[in-house]
Every structure is written in C-alpha cells, then in structure tokens.
C-alpha cells in the first residue's frame, strides 16, 4: 500500500458504555449486544458490538477525507468479516483501489490487524475525490 495515498483513519475504543449508548440510539437491544449471559450461550461466546457501530467509522473516515458533501453521492459495498467485542479498538481506513480507478478499498480493522469489515467505495462524479481533490 502506498501510504502517501492512504486515507486518514478514524478509530474507536469499544466500551460497554458505547455499545449501550448505540443500542439506545438505534433502539436495538438484541441480547447478543447487551446481555453477557445470553451472549455466552451463542457461538460468539460473549457480547458483540453492533455491526453498524463499526460501519459508522467508515463514514467518519470518508467524511474526514472527502468532506460531508461526498457522502451524498457514493456507492459503498461492504462485507462484515469478524465481530467486534467490548475492549477492541477498531480503525477504519483505506487506499485507492489498484483494480478499479476512482474506487477506494476500505476496511475496519481490530488492534490485532485483523479485518472486521472490508469493502469498496466509489465516489460520485461531483465529489472532490472523483475530481482529484482530497478534502
């Protein structure tokens, strides 16, 4: 990866308080997120953060790099690879795609370097990035 073209990252230390706040914000109190006793009986073995909580970091990363106006005209494709747990520190970032000009390979990774979310984003023709201007 060419670090000169890497996107500025956005990070989050995932705490129980953040997971509960996100549950309240989204009205998503699925016990896999907020009930340790229940989560212990699942294949995950313990509570996991909401997938969209981690995905929010991608939006923060894109806004940081291209400005809020770029978020209105983009095509984001992602896959959730591995869960995020309380105590994890996750970071969103990316770089220009070598395979598809005008696209960016994006990711959310844990502190151990493992991918949690991977995908691509194509910014619309009117966005600063599509014009070659980084915000």
**pLDDT tens across 72-123, in order?**
999 999 999 999 999 999 999 999 999 988 899 999 999 999 999 999 999 8
Proportion of the chain above pLDDT 70, given as a percent:
89
Domains in the chain and their CATH numbers?
50-123 (3.10.129.10)
pLDDT tens for 35-73 read 999 999 999 999 999 999 999 999 999 999 999 998 899
Spatial neighbors of 23 by CB under 8 A, at least 6 apart, are: 29, 33, 34, 50
pTM over 0.75: yes
In the structure, what pLDDT confidence band is assigned to residue 32 with cuts at 50, 70 and 90?
very high
Nearest-angstrom CA–CA distance, 73 and 61: 15
C-beta separation of 104 from 97 below 8 A? yes
pLDDT band (50, 70, 90) for residue 132: low
């Amino acid at each position: 990866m060419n670090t000169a073209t890497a996107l500025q990252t956005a990070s989050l230390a995932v705490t129980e308080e953040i997971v509960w706040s996100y549950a309240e914000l989204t009205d998503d109190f699925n016990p896999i997120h907020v009930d340790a006793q229940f989560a212990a009986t699942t294949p995950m073995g313990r509570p996991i953060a909401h997938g969209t909580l981690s995905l929010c970091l991608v939006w923060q990363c894109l806004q940081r790099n291209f400005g809020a106006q770029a978020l209105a005209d983009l095509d984001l494709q992602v896959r959730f690879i591995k869960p995020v747990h309380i105590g994890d520190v996750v970071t969103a970032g990316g770089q220009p795609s070598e395979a598809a000009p005008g696209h960016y390979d994006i990711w959310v990774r844990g502190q151990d370097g493992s991918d949690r979310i991977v995908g691509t984003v194509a910014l619309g023709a009117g966005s600063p990035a599509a014009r070659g201007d980084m915000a």
